[in-house]
Amino acid sequence: MNTEIATVIVGMVTDENEKDYFVQKKGITYQLSKNEGEHRLGDHVEGFVYRNQKGQLKMTTKIPRIRQKHYAFGVVTKVRKDLGVFVNIGLPDKDIVVSCDDLPALTQLWPKEGDHLMISLTVDEKERVWGKLASENVIRSVTRRGTKEEHNQNVEAIVVQPKLVGTYVLTTQYQLGFIHPSERYVEPRLGERVSARVIGVRPDGVLNLSLKPRAHEVIAPDAAMIMTFLEQSPLGALPFSDRSTPEEIQKQFAISKGQFKRALGKLLKEGKVYQKDGWIYLKEE
């Protein structure tokens, strides 16, 4: 077994052809593309060695950030339900597979093309290189603590661990965040990029996040929906008011009574509707 697969080595240029140099170490020869720079016979070259898709031993001087015991984010390029997901770590002719055994049991939580995974590399006894997802301890080791000053701020983050108790994410500022199931409409998948807001900071510095919009951010679409219902009504009116029951409002508009009252208040203030005898009416232009 070649123990130097997926490591950085220094070898000597022993031969060349029109396209490649041949770099040797311990009697093993690796191909190095001439597109990566000029060398002469006898030069010592540092590079990352691996087997490409064709099984050829290759070297690249463009050393990837993702290596054995070196974690970083790579981009998902392909998904195969029978194998796992392929991740681009920067090699010119090979993507790395994260096995389906290491992915969530629910395939709907698997990453999609374009998602990002934090991985390192591992090599099995057959010299196959696999992607290894970062564990919770690894993720925590690279994070910084959240502060109370960040409360109510918007953050961008990548899902690093979907769990039954909730979703853990890593923000672009390398802070660990947690999304409780009550603070999302659907469960985000592993590797998905999400936009969230900070609703609290735990004593251990983990940000409590929400994927739900602030109350004032849902008024506009809710108000627009009510206007649509009114405009489609033959009478230009609806038998609803702020005294309607939550069940009636949920059945008609699929929103809570609180959302309905805020949206209705906005329309009343803007002079677009008026209320009379438990009905909402469109105001004539």
DSSP 78-108: EEETTTEEEEE-S-TT--EEEEGGGS-SSGG
d(CA 84, CA 191): 13
Residue 135 has pLDDT above 90, yes or no: yes
In the chain, where are the structural domains located? 8-60, 72-134, 143-210, 216-282
> For residue 76, which of 50, 103, 47 has the smallest C-alpha distance?
103
Check if 8-60 and 72-134 are the same fold.
yes
CATH 3.30.930.10, applies to 8-60: no
User: Using CA atoms, how far apart are residues 138 and 251, in angstroms rounded to an integer?
Assistant: 46
**pTM, two decimal places:** 0.74
Tens of pLDDT, residue by residue over 97-108, are 999 999 999 999
Q: Which CATH architecture has domain 72-134?
A: Beta Barrel (2.40)
CATH of segment(s) 143-210: 2.40.50.140
**So what's the pLDDT on residue 219?**
65
Segment 158-184, tens digit of pLDDT: 999 998 899 999 999 999 999 999 898
Reduced to 3 states, what is the DSSP secondary structure of residue 248?
helix
User: Is residue 88 within 8 Å of residue 117, measured between CB atoms?
Assistant: no
Phi and psi at 261, nearest 5°, equal -65, -40
Instruction: Quote the CA–CA distance of 31 and 29 in Å, as a whole number.
Output: 7
Return the pLDDT at 180: 95
**Residue 3 CA: distances (Å) to CA of 50, 92, 257:** 11, 22, 64
- What is the model's pLDDT at position 81? 94
Residue 214 has pLDDT above 70, yes or no: no
Domain 216-282 fold is: Arc Repressor Mutant, subunit A (1.10.10)
Contact 172, 143 (CB under 8 A): no
**Residues 6 or more apart in contact with residue 265 via CB below 8 angstroms:** none
